[in-house]
Amino acid sequence: MLGGTFGLIAAAALLRIGWLRLQFARLGYRAIRSGRDNILYEERDLTGARRRVVFGGEMLSRGPHLLYAPDAFTWNDSMPAWLHDRCVEVFQRITERFGPISVEVLRADGPQNNKMQQTKLGQAMELRC
């Protein structure tokens, strides 16, 4: 009985991994958890090579997952070239995968250098970056 339970759990895990790989192959991108709090966003380029970036975050006990992102002024400077001007697209894809998330945007505007602003995504709200 015990071996059967572990066998079912292992089979379910393998099916999930296979399903995620098929989706990545079909869509050309994926968003998956990386550790407990972070989310890895990965794409394939036209040659089939994988490109990835990890967004830091926090898993909250109540409410949506919280991710950290640079603001519109520093997005292109702090992200790889393949992500330039694609902030909204990337976070929409992450939202499709995980449901509603909160994105805390680090703003670098003048003397209040590390002011944070939180934006909720997933229902009727949008991110401007």
What lies within 8 Å, CB to CB, of 33 at 6+ separation is: 39, 40
Is 67 within the bounds of a domain? yes
Q: Give the pLDDT score at 128.
A: 55
Is the four-CA dihedral 103, 108, 114, 116 of positive or negative sign?
A: negative
Is 66 within the bounds of a domain? yes
- Three-state DSSP class for 115? strand
Is 98 within the bounds of a domain? yes
Other beta carbons within 10 angstroms of residue 9's beta carbon come to 10
Is 39 within the bounds of a domain? yes
Is 111 within the bounds of a domain? yes
If one counts the domains in the chain, the total is: 1
Is 95 within the bounds of a domain? yes
Residue range(s) defining the domain that contains residue 51? 28-121
Is 21 within the bounds of a domain? no
Tens-digit pLDDT profile for residues 1-16: 556 787 778 777 777 7
Tens-digit pLDDT profile for residues 32-83: 888 888 899 999 888 889 999 998 888 777 766 788 888 778 888 889 999 9
Is 92 within the bounds of a domain? yes
Which residue, among 100, 106, 102, 42, has the nearest Cα to 72 in the 3D structure?
106
